[in-house]
Amino acid sequence: TIVGFLQHNMGNINLAMKVAARALLPGAEQLYAANFDQMLRSGMIKEAAEMAAKSPNGVLRTPNTINKFKAVAQAQPNQPNPLLIYFSKILEDSKLNAIESIELARPVLQQGKQQLLQKWLEEGKLECSEDLGDLVKQVDSNLALSIYLRGNVPAKVIHCFVETQQFDKILLYANKVGYSPEWDKILSTMVMINPDGAVRLAQMLVNQEGGSKLNVAAVAEIFLSRNMLQQTTAFLLDALKGNKPEEGPLQTKLLEINLRAAPQVAEAILSNGMFSHYDRPAVGKLCEMAGLFQRALEHYTELNDLKRVIVHASQIQPDFILEWFGNLETSWGLELLREMLAKDLRQNLQICVQVATKYSEVMTPQALMALFEEYKSMEGLFYYLGSIVNFSNDENVHYKYIVACTKVGMMRNDYKELERITRESTYYPAEKVKDFLKSETKLPDPRPLINVCDKHDMVEELTQFLYGKGMMKYIEVYVQKVNPFRTPQVVGALIDAGCPEDQIRSLVMSVRNMCPAEGLVAACQKRNRLRFLLPWLEARFDEGEQDPAIHNALAMIYIDTNQSPEKFLESNRYYDHKTVGAYCAKRDPHLAFVVYSSAKGVCDDEAIAVTNENALFKAQAKFLVDRQDLNLWAKVLTEENPHKRSLVDQVVATALPQCKNSEAVACTVKAFMSANLPNELIELLEKIVLRADSEFATNKNLQNLLILTAVQVAGAGELPEEHKGRVMEYINRLDKFDGPDIAAICVQDGLYEEAFVIYKKFDDKKKAMSVLVDNLHDLGRAKDFAVSCNIDTVWSTLARAQLDHGHIQDAIDSYIKANDPSEYLKVIGAAQDAGNYQHLISFLQMARKKDFGTQEARSVIDTAMLMALAKEGLMSELEEFVSSPNLANIEEVGERCADEGSFEAARMLFSSISKHDKLASCLIRLKKYADAVEAARKANFSRTWKEVLVACVDAEEFRLAQMCGLNLMYVPDEVEELIKVYERRGYFEQLIAMMESGLGVEMGGNTAGIFTELAILYAKYKEEKLMEHLKLFCARMNIPRVIRECERHEHWSALCFLYVHNDEADNAALTMMNHAAEAFDHSQFKELLLKCANPENLYKATQFYVEEHPLELNDLLCSLAKKEGILDHSRVVVQMKRKLPLIKKYLEQVQSHDMKSVNEALNGLYIEEEDYEKLTQSVLTYKNYDQMELASNLEKHELLEMRRVASTLYKNNKRYAQSVELSKKDKLYRDAMQTAATSGDPELVEQLLRFFVDAEAKECFAAALFTCYEFVRPDVVLELAWRNNIMDYAMPYIIQVTKAYTSKVDTLQAEFDKKKEEEEKKKQSELHTAGMAGGEMGLPGAPLMLTMGQPSMGMGMDPYHQQMGGGGMGMGMGSVPNMGMGMGGMPHGGMGGMSVPNMGMGGGMPMF
């Protein structure tokens, strides 16, 4: 080679080194090492240091080089340290590696020049490592922290943070570098240094983002182990603030700690409601032990526990107890109240009453009252019932409360509450309470009993009870101050009890006017003791009392004692007339009539009754006339009154003749009229009115009444024969009556002649004419009367009647004579209805000359004139009238003419006013179609165009019809109707031609409608043009409408085309599937399915292809599978379960998704096809299927390769024994060996070896030893080989094992030697002192050599971890390094027997 030539032939070693280094040739390292050693031997220290420092790729910058420099330094102690020279050369233009940095740091630290290390670190001259940090940490923890940070040694960085108490930086650093240390150990260390800092760190850890990674329970135990209760509480409060179910034990622990040591803290925690998942019964027990009885109640759930705690209710807040009882079951609440009363009645009574009061409705007053009564706590019952009695309607509650008030009142001598409740309550059982109060003989105050009896109307019994007890004083107080209104009952009871009258009278007089007179009088009258009240009654009378009862009693007493009763009855206004009248009727009827008649209408019925019963008809008649009451008259003048005749005779004979009051007379007359007594009334009136000496002869009202009565009788036909004509006689004899009013009444009653005479008599000729024409209907007599009068109004009335009777011509003549056009509307209507236009023209001419009425009226007249001329066919006069000024409604007349068939007249009228739309209609009727089209063009109305269009189509004038149609196409709403005009008549070709002609015309906003309608027409009548039209104008039409029509007419290809352009891919696909014969196209169908929104259509398409195009199915499914998420491959497999071979290609394409159904389907296909290669590839590549089921199926397959796949599946699922057994059966020994090796199970490997030995498969035995080398035990191999005489086959394995064990021993020996050398160097480094002068560093002096070979005993040191073994002791045995013995208790091996790591014996695990 070139390097060899340069080195050996040319002797130029430098050049050879440069060439080898530049070309990176192998062997360059040996060249540099040889040259380096040569320089050291030659004493060229600086040159050797420079070569090592600048060697290519740092081939000489190794620990070996450093050791060589150290050896030189030891050999030349007084010379500059070669090692420092070497380091200085490196620092000139490079940085030290990890080992170099450590070696340089040792002397620097020994000299205390840490600032140099700091400077080199900042300049990047040192390579930071964990070992360097460990070395520096012995001197400067902060500098070591900097090295650990630069060397990325997270564990040591965090340890330094702990030692330097920079706790806030620990979590930030760990999160930054993504390091997860053992926080428990860190916190254990921190607890000893700074407990508060440990708590802060723990809180930061549990609150960090992403959730806590801290074992909260372990951390809590760390704090507790040092009895840091406050810190433990603070940490757990922060860690458990999430209140999660899994934190229940820790919540219990936290509460237990504080309940045992600081109950007030536990109270605060519980009051905040922070936790809800702790062990409530356990915490409740602790609360009870701590004296927190309120919290204990909150946590206990068993009744016995609650009973035990509730007896301390006096130490619990009452508000809490009140609220807490609300959460209990009713039965439990009563039990607890019973327990409280039983254990400490005095202390717990108040709170028991409060609970009972609040939950009275739930626990029921009956149960609560029974509870208090059970413990004979009348006071508790009193307070409880006192709080609910005002809100309860239960009579038992009120009764029990009264009993409690009585008992408590007797104990306290205070009956105010008893008196109040008996006075105010309305719900207690009165009888029961009365009996109870009467039975309480010790009750000194009867006021409660008085209240009960007074309120419930038991006053008489009360009075008798008090009178019997000699308590007359309370009776007087009761009637005077408590309830004077009960005086009547008291007086009655006293009378019944035999009390003296003087005493009763004195009692009544003391009450004065507060006593109700009616009841008092009734009570005394009932007992026939009314007279003794006379002094009290007269006293009240003198005081001006107006109470009817008082005056009734006085009247009765005066009547009985005959003390001028009539005078009293006539003058007194305050007694009750009915009562006193009834009292008198039994004694004196005359006095009774006096009483009733003086009642001023109140006792009229009673007055009539008493006069009828006692035949006092004269008094009755005078009374009725004076009363002037029609209702009262109606009662006595009925047919049912048997005394009617006697009464009428007295009225006629005495009452009216003596009466001077005209109103009384009028009222009597009205009463007779109302009673339907006309004959008696006429007779009466004739006496009054027709007599000359009568005071009422000229009375207008009576004259009216006489005539009206006669009219009424005459109208009813009830007058006797001799009285016929009396009405006319009265009309002629009397002249003071109201003529017009009487005449109107005569008309109403059918007396028309009398009415006509009255109107003539009072000179009202118009109404007289009205009677003739409206009532007598005598037009001839009326016409003669009009001629005789010759008054316009009379003629007008006659004309109106003639018009009503259909005498049109006579009516028009009369209106003309009256010169009255006011009824022009009726005249015009009647004449037009009768067709009498000739005479109507005369009337209208009269009306026009008079210039009558408003402009509206003149317009009506001119319109009627125009119509009359048109109807008479006077065209010249019509034209002249139209051209002259007029107010006629020409359009209306023209319409009427057109309606009546006078189209020529209508044409003339419409032309005169330019009504082209209506003119067009007339021209159509006249069959002038061209003129009609022209008129429609001028009118330009859709309605007109449509009308002309229909007429032209009916007349088959298609050219004119097309002109109309083109004008209608502008209006979108008219196009449909336009098409119907042609379609109904069957002109399809003409319709399509018209629509096609419209394509070239701008239709404004209806262009899309034209294209749409034309497409619909093609679909109906010209299918061959449909597709072409759709392709040209699809974008310009209303596609949904065309779709409906194409669907209705079954144009499936066109329908698919429209669905596609309307973005309705689903419908298009369904149409293709449903009508495949006409519409299906495979390429287009694939594109449509990719756009379908409904995934169900994809599976319908799959079934469609199975039935119609099975050969294209794979292509379809593969196309769909290219778009992710569009197909559910599992569903496709289920759908194609019995036809899977059709979609094999698709399944292979989608198998990359590793879906279970797809994998199983494909595997099944491969099994059916016996394609073991693809099956093997499938089961090895994809794992999502039931591998055990497949292996079980394949295990019994007839093909060997299929069974081999089953073996592979067993192996992949770690069922190595089954796999090996299957391979052994099929004699696939190679597979069996590979499976056994993969299993890593020495027992399985041994079984396989024994199988090969038994089967005499020696070559397989040897191969198995090679394949399963790592899992074969040498002793087993030797035994099997020796026993079966196959040592030759086992020998390669034995050789390899021997080689491996020899290599391991050599390696251990080398490590031991290296370790021993490092210990020697370390000892030398510790004893050497380094000095630096003139900017150079001095190296340490010669090492201190320790005496070797002497027995020693001391603490063992782990050379790698530098930790002392705990409790171990080692003994060195001279120069025999492998016989050390020691015992240690630390995890790293404890105390080693010497420093020999491979042979030491200790309590721990030796570290290699």
> How many CA within 13 A on the CB side of residue 1375?
3
> Worst-scoring range by mean pLDDT, 106-120, 895-909, 996-1010, 1182-1196?
996-1010
**Residue range 254-263, pLDDT digits in tens:** 787 878 878 8
Cα–Cα distance measured from residue 317 to residue 1097, given in angstroms and rounded to the nearest whole number:
72
Asked if 1370 contacts 1392 with a C-beta cutoff of 8 angstroms, the reply is yes
Written as one letter, the residue type at 610 is V
Using CA atoms in the order 812, 815, 817, 822, what is the torsion angle rounded to 10 degrees? -150
* Cβ neighbours for 1122, distance < 8 A, ≥ 6 positions apart: none
Q: Which two tokens stand for residue 1312?
A: 């031991």
Cα–Cα distance measured from residue 1253 to residue 1088, given in angstroms and rounded to the nearest whole number:
68
Cα–Cα distance measured from residue 672 to residue 689, given in angstroms and rounded to the nearest whole number:
16
* Cβ neighbours for 314, distance < 8 A, ≥ 6 positions apart: 344, 347, 348, 351
Cα–Cα distance measured from residue 583 to residue 525, given in angstroms and rounded to the nearest whole number:
13
Output the CA–CA distances (angstroms, integers) from residue 940 to 154, 916, 923, 933, 945, in the order listed. 96, 9, 16, 10, 7
**Range 287-294 contact pairs with CB under 8 angstroms and sequence separation of 24 or more:** 287/259, 289/259, 290/259, 290/260, 290/263, 290/266, 291/263, 291/315, 292/259, 292/263, 292/266, 292/267, 294/320
Cα–Cα distance measured from residue 1182 to residue 1154, given in angstroms and rounded to the nearest whole number:
6
Residue 6 has pLDDT above 70, yes or no: no
Name the phi and psi angles at 1372, rounded to 5.
-85, 140
Confidence band for 979, pLDDT divided at 50, 70 and 90: confident
Q: Which two tokens stand for residue 1199?
A: 């093909």
Print burial letters for 1270-1300: b (CB count within 10 Å at least 16), e (below 16): ebbeeeebeebbeebebeebbeebeeebeee
**Residue range 765-823, pLDDT digits in tens:** 778 878 778 777 778 888 887 888 877 778 888 788 877 887 878 878 888 787 878 78
Backbone CA torsion sign across 249, 254, 260, 266:
negative
Which residues does residue 1352 pair with via DSSP β-bridges, in sequence order?
1372
Confidence band for 391, pLDDT divided at 50, 70 and 90: confident
Residue with tokens 């239960």: 394
1009 dihedral zone (left: phi>0; alpha: psi -120 to 50; beta): alpha
Asked if 1202 contacts 1170 with a C-beta cutoff of 8 angstroms, the reply is yes
Cα–Cα distance measured from residue 775 to residue 779, given in angstroms and rounded to the nearest whole number:
11
**The pLDDT value given to residue 1407:** 32
Residue 524 has pLDDT above 90, yes or no: no
Output the CA–CA distances (angstroms, integers) from residue 973 to 78, 936, 946, 969, 1009, in the order listed. 122, 18, 12, 9, 10
Name the phi and psi angles at 1060, rounded to 5.
-65, -45
Helix residue ranges per DSSP H, 1273-1286: 1274-1283
Pick the more confident residue, 33 or 1302: 1302
> Worst-scoring range by mean pLDDT, 52-56, 338-342, 1034-1038, 1085-1089?
52-56
**Residue range 732-762, pLDDT digits in tens:** 777 777 778 878 888 777 777 777 787 777 7
Residue 1260 has pLDDT above 90, yes or no: yes
Backbone CA torsion sign across 735, 741, 744, 746:
negative
> Worst-scoring range by mean pLDDT, 692-701, 862-871, 939-948, 1101-1110?
692-701
**The pLDDT value given to residue 1374:** 36
Which residues does residue 1381 pair with via DSSP β-bridges, in sequence order?
1371
Pick the more confident residue, 1003 or 499: 499
Q: What is the mean pLDDT of residues 641-653?
A: 80
Asked if 36 contacts 65 with a C-beta cutoff of 8 angstroms, the reply is yes
Confidence band for 1263, pLDDT divided at 50, 70 and 90: very high
Q: SS3 helix, strand, coil % of the chain, rounded to 5?
A: 75, 0, 25
Asked if 698 contacts 736 with a C-beta cutoff of 8 angstroms, the reply is yes
Written as one letter, the residue type at 367 is A
Pick the more confident residue, 1398 or 728: 728
Backbone CA torsion sign across 1244, 1246, 1250, 1253:
positive
pTM metric for this prediction: 0.36
**The pLDDT value given to residue 57:** 67
**Residue range 1366-1385, pLDDT digits in tens:** 333 333 333 333 333 333 33
**The pLDDT value given to residue 719:** 53
Asked if 1113 contacts 1106 with a C-beta cutoff of 8 angstroms, the reply is yes
> How many CA within 13 A on the CB side of residue 1251?
20
Asked if 275 contacts 269 with a C-beta cutoff of 8 angstroms, the reply is yes
CB atoms within 10 A of CB 780: 8
Of 96, 32, 100, nearest to 66 (Cα)? 100
Cα–Cα distance measured from residue 275 to residue 888, given in angstroms and rounded to the nearest whole number:
99
* Cβ neighbours for 418, distance < 8 A, ≥ 6 positions apart: 402, 405, 406, 409, 448
Furthest-apart CA atoms within the chain: distance in Å: 197
**The pLDDT value given to residue 1343:** 32
Q: What is the mean pLDDT of residues 1038-1055?
A: 86
CB atoms within 10 A of CB 515: 23
Output the CA–CA distances (angstroms, integers) from residue 1113 to 1065, 1103, 1108, in the order listed. 19, 9, 10
Written as one letter, the residue type at 586 is K
**The pLDDT value given to residue 715:** 61
**Residue range 133-160, pLDDT digits in tens:** 888 877 787 788 888 778 777 777 777 7
Output the CA–CA distances (angstroms, integers) from residue 173 to 158, 179, 181, 199, 1322, in the order listed. 8, 8, 11, 18, 34
**The pLDDT value given to residue 8:** 52
Which of 163-177, 221-235, 858-872, 1154-1168 is most confident? 1154-1168
**The pLDDT value given to residue 1235:** 92
Q: What is the mean pLDDT of the chain?
A: 77
Would you list the DSSP string of 417-484?
A: HHHHHHHH-S-S-HHHHHHHHHH-TT----HHHHHHHHHTT-HHHHHHHHHHTT-HHHHHHIIIII-G
Of 1346, 91, 59, 93, nearest to 108 (Cα)? 91
**The pLDDT value given to residue 1003:** 63
Name the phi and psi angles at 444, rounded to 5.
-80, -20
Would you list the DSSP string of 767-808?
A: HHHHIIIIIS--HHHHHHHHHHH--HHHHHHHHHHHHHTT-H
Confidence band for 1268, pLDDT divided at 50, 70 and 90: very high
Q: In this prediction, what percent of the chain has a pLDDT beyond 70?
A: 87
Residue 173 has pLDDT above 80, yes or no: no
Cα angle for residues 1350, 1353, 1356 (degrees, 5° grid): 115
**The pLDDT value given to residue 1126:** 81
Q: What is the mean pLDDT of residues 529-547?
A: 80
**Residue range 673-683, pLDDT digits in tens:** 777 777 767 76
Cα–Cα distance measured from residue 1098 to residue 1112, given in angstroms and rounded to the nearest whole number:
14
Residue with tokens 């007029």: 886
Cα–Cα distance measured from residue 263 to residue 370, given in angstroms and rounded to the nearest whole number:
39
Output the CA–CA distances (angstroms, integers) from residue 514 to 439, 478, 484, 520, 557, in the order listed. 32, 12, 6, 11, 22
**The pLDDT value given to residue 26:** 52
Q: What is the mean pLDDT of residues 1284-1313?
A: 90
SS3 call for 1369: strand
Pick the more confident residue, 1315 or 852: 1315
> Worst-scoring range by mean pLDDT, 337-341, 921-925, 1392-1396?
1392-1396
Confidence band for 1230, pLDDT divided at 50, 70 and 90: very high
Question: What is the spatial order of strands in the sheet that 1369-1372 belongs to?
Answer: 1352-1354, 1369-1372, 1381-1383
Name the phi and psi angles at 1353, rounded to 5.
-140, 125
**The pLDDT value given to residue 1327:** 65
Cα–Cα distance measured from residue 719 to residue 713, given in angstroms and rounded to the nearest whole number:
6
Residue 1349 has pLDDT above 50, yes or no: no
**The pLDDT value given to residue 388:** 86
**Residue range 46-88, pLDDT digits in tens:** 877 777 777 766 767 788 888 887 787 777 777 777 777 877 8
Residue 1262 has pLDDT above 80, yes or no: yes
CB atoms within 10 A of CB 457: 11
Of 1002, 1006, 1001, 976, nearest to 991 (Cα)? 976
Cα–Cα distance measured from residue 214 to residue 206, given in angstroms and rounded to the nearest whole number:
6
Residue 1393 has pLDDT above 60, yes or no: no
Consecutive H or E run containing 1352: strand 1352-1354
